[in-house]
Structure 1
Amino acid sequence: MTPRNFDLIAFDWDGTLFDSTAIIARCIQAAVRDVGGKEPTYEEASYVIGMGLMQALAHAAPDVPEALYPQLGDRYRHHYFAIQHEISLFEGVLPLLAELKARGHLLVVATGKSRRGLDEVLGSADLAGVFDASRTADQTAGKPDPLMLNELMAEFDVPPERTLMVGDTTHDLQMALNAGCPSLAVSYGAHDHAVFGALQPLFVAHSVPQMRDWLLAHG
């Protein structure tokens, strides 16, 4: 077994471990339509994935008045919770997480999801005991603010140089930079990997097997 380079690995959730990008984008589009806003394109709806919910919706629907934000959020949750059972982890994620646990890594989640939404998926039998901690956008600051990473590092007393952020969006990678942490990017989620270079990820994985190989060799 190769020595660990990182003691703490923080994973984004949607688009990194969970195959939810397309469904989230469609739910954002539907919520904006429901309140009479101009429907964002798929690309515009995908771009905001990873932000906190209301920050994301406000960005995706700039023509919707602030007074309608509570209704907009309610409509998004209505659409999402109606179909969340259709979403699953990317193939290969569970074995990878088990391998990382066996190597002694601390595994945490740093996500723009709500606490309720994350707890619902983490409550499955397959994920019981896999993650050591998590932070969501509604219990701390949303990405790219580094607060959720800073809190997780403080909880386990792990310095930034021993912490790795894994994510699929520029929000994830910018958060890592803001926290002083290295990052690993994945290209199969919400954002085009062509824009990742300026955010200095150590590697861009184009599939879960590529992410696994890199993490086991360099993590």
Structure 2
Amino acid sequence: MTPKQFDLIVFDWDGTLFDSTALITRCIQAAARDLGLPVPEAADAAYVIGLGLYDALARVVPDLPRERYAELGQRYRHHYFAAQHEVVLFEGVLELLAALKARHHWLAIATGKSRRGLDEALQSVQLQGVFDGSRTADETAGKPDPRMLHELMREFGAAPERTLMIGDTTHDLQLALNAGAARLGVSYGAHDHASFHAFEPLHIAHDVPDLQRWLLEHA
């Protein structure tokens, strides 16, 4: 076994471990439709994935008065929770996480989801207890504010240079950059990976097996 480069490996959830990009996009569009608002294009809806819910909705429906954010958020959650059972982990994620646990990395999640949303998702895919820690957007600052990673690094006593953030959006990579942590992008989620290069990721993985190969060789 090669020596570990990273003590703490932090994953984004949606679009990185959980194949939910298309569902989230549809639910954002449905929520706007419910309120009689202009329905965003799929690419615009997908771009805000990873942000906290209200930040995301404010960007994707910019003309909505702030006092109606909660109403739009409620409609989004209605559609998402009704259909979240339809989505699953990307193929190979369970094997990837088991391999990293065997190497004694700390594993954590930093996500734009709510605590309720993350806990329900973890339960639905039977991943309770696999992760050593997590942060959600409703209990700390949302991405790309570095607070999520700062809190996780303090929790585990991990230095920034010994921490790796993995995500499918520029919000994830900016979060890592802001926190002084290393970063790795995956191209199979919400954002076009051509935009990742500005954040100097160590690698861009094009599927989960590629991600696992890189991590076992370099992390």
What residue number does 2:48 align with? Answer: 48
Give the residue type in structure 2 aligned to 1:95.
Answer: E
Cα distance in 2 for residues equivalent to 1:84 and 1:108: 21
Cα deviation 1:173-206 (Å, max 9, x = unaligned)? 0000000001010000000001100011100001
Cα deviation 1:129-169 (Å, max 9, x = unaligned)? 21001000000000000000000000011000000000000
What residue number does 1:202 align with? Answer: 202
Q: Does the 8 Å contact 1:35/1:68 carry over to 2? A: no
What residue number does 2:214 align with? Answer: 214
Cα distance in 1 for residues equivalent to 2:3 and 2:129: 24
- Runs ≥4 residues deviating over 4 A: none
Q: Does the 8 Å contact 1:38/1:63 carry over to 2? A: no
Where does structure 2 lack aligned partners over 5 or more consecutive residues? none
Alpha-carbon deviation of 1:126? 2.9
Pair 1:144-2:111 in alignment: no
RMSD: 0.8
The within-5 A match list for 1:15-164 is 15-124=15-124, 126-164=126-164
Give the residue type in structure 2 aligned to 1:126.
Answer: Q
Q: Does the 8 Å contact 2:88/2:125 carry over to 1? A: no
Cα distance in 1 for residues equivalent to 2:15 and 2:38: 25
Q: Bigger CA drift: 30-39 or 130-139?
A: 30-39
Q: Does the 8 Å contact 1:53/1:112 carry over to 2? A: yes
Cα deviation 1:42-62 (Å, max 9, x = unaligned)? 000000000000000010001
SS of 1:104 mapped into structure 2? coil
Alpha-carbon deviation of 1:123? 2.4
What residue number does 2:171 align with? Answer: 171
SS of 1:10 mapped into structure 2? strand
Pair 1:10-2:3 in alignment: no
Q: Does the 8 Å contact 2:85/2:124 carry over to 1? A: no
SS of 2:82 mapped into structure 1? helix
Q: Number of aligned pairs?
A: 219
Where does structure 1 lack aligned partners over 5 or more consecutive residues? none
TM-score normalised to structure 1 length:
0.98
Cα deviation 1:41-83 (Å, max 9, x = unaligned)? 0000000000000000010001212121111000000000000
TM-score normalised to structure 2 length:
0.98
Give the residue type in structure 1 aligned to 2:86.
Answer: E
Cα distance in 1 for residues equivalent to 2:178 and 2:218: 22
Alpha-carbon deviation of 1:35? 1.2
Cα distance in 1 for residues equivalent to 2:57 and 2:124: 28
Q: Does the 8 Å contact 2:53/2:73 carry over to 1? A: yes
